[in-house]
Amino acid sequence: MQKTKNSYKKSGVNIDLANEFVKHISKISKKNVKKRKAPQQINNIGAFGSLYDLSKSKIKDPVIVSSTDGVGTKLELANKFKKFDTIGIDLVAMCVNDLIVQGAKPLFFLDYMAIGKINLKKMKLIIKGIMKGCNISECQLAGGETAEMPGVYEKNKFDLAGFSVGIASKRKLLTKSNVKNHDIILGIPSNGLHSNGFSLLRNILKKRKINKKLEKQILKPTKIYVKEILNLVNRRLISSAAHITGGGLIENISRSVPNNLSINIDLKKIKTLKIFKWLKKNNVSDSEMLRTFNCGIGFCVILKRKNVNKIKKFFTNEFKPYEIGYISNSKSKVNLFNKIQW
């Protein structure tokens, strides 16, 4: 009896399915480029490298800005609730929100998808979300990598990483050196957990049940702040910015303020959402909440007081910025006042 020959497919890697997935991405990417009428975008999905025509850029003194990120263990809850069409929005958001902290306009995005076994239905839903995130950010899905890795990932497990590139005018870059004494700190609301703190949340969910309304909030995709922030950058209305991710409010604002100045935050002014109030009830301290979750503020801008009222027209009511603190010359790097009202 003749022995069955070894093959890559029998080892758990299906090249044909992977090629089918690449064709699907290329097809929807071409449609998207035509729909957006963006001549600088060159559809090159499936090639060895991704292309973008910078000659169409009208930005003077251009600086390229890059960012890479993932969505952490929010993936585990996407698997648990079988909700895959929005996790791609999270992936794009985590990258492009970092770009705009520098004042950069996102140009293109690449994704890395690692999976135990290719599941076209699941992967197409993930790409659908990535494409939607790119559209919200007005950038191109330029390429990526799909890796089927049996033995590294279990059959239904997967991981995502994103990489984004943006462009900024050197004269309009947002840097900590722009921040001055007496500047105002505004908090821009989040729409939920975004993509941080999910390991703690998952640990709580092992012991506690959550109602259906809050369950929906858990997988709500991260808010993308690109349009609003670039409107402020182009009008030179803000000095510095911070994307509130891992490390929470205090650690992230600290990254955007020079060491010789102090951050003063009135915690009582923070408007928390119901999901954070529920988390707080599960024996989590205030300091742990502030360091793990955004607690209701997804992004911050630092600006001169004279510009505070000028920027509000660029935001919808849901994401209207509000004052949470100020910059001073005091000895302590961070001064916190009052307590969050949970």
Amino acid present at 202 = R
Rounded CA gap, 24 and 285, in Å?
Answer: 47
Rounded CA gap, 217 and 201, in Å?
Answer: 12
Tokens of 220: 């709500």
CATH 3.90.650.10 fits domain 176-337: yes
Q: Selecting from 3.40.50.2000, 3.30.470.20, 1.10.357.10, 3.30.1330.10, what CATH number does the domain 15-172 have? A: 3.30.1330.10
User: At what angle are helices 120-137 and 226-234 packed, to 10 degrees?
Assistant: 20
Same topology for domains 15-172 and 176-337, yes or no?
Answer: no
What is the tens place of the pLDDT at every residue in 226-284? 999 999 999 999 999 999 999 999 999 999 999 999 999 999 999 999 999 999 999 99
Closest CA to 261 of 184, 170, 173, 340: 184
Percent pLDDT > 70 in the chain is 95
Is the alpha carbon torsion for 227, 294, 241, 111 positive or negative? negative
What is the tens place of the pLDDT at every residue in 172-189? 999 999 999 999 999 999
The predicted pLDDT at position 9 comes to: 87
Residue 207: φ, ψ to 5°: -110, -25
The whole-chain average pLDDT of the chain stands at 92
What is the tens place of the pLDDT at every residue in 24-72? 888 887 777 666 656 566 666 777 888 888 887 888 899 999 999 999 9
The predicted pLDDT at position 282 comes to: 95
What is the tens place of the pLDDT at every residue in 103-115? 999 999 999 999 9
Rounded CA gap, 71 and 88, in Å?
Answer: 9
Q: List CB contacts of 50: < 8 A, sequence separation 6 or more.
A: 44, 108, 110, 142, 143
Q: What is the pTM of this model?
A: 0.94
Q: Is the separation of the CB atoms in 134 and 164 below 8 Å?
A: no
Q: Give SS3 for 110.
A: strand
Amino acid present at 148 = E
Amino acid present at 119 = N
Closest CA to 97 of 10, 223, 3: 223
Q: List CB contacts of 3: < 8 A, sequence separation 6 or more.
A: none
Rounded CA gap, 108 and 142, in Å?
Answer: 6
Domain ranges of the chain: 15-172, 176-337
Q: List CB contacts of 38: < 8 A, sequence separation 6 or more.
A: 140
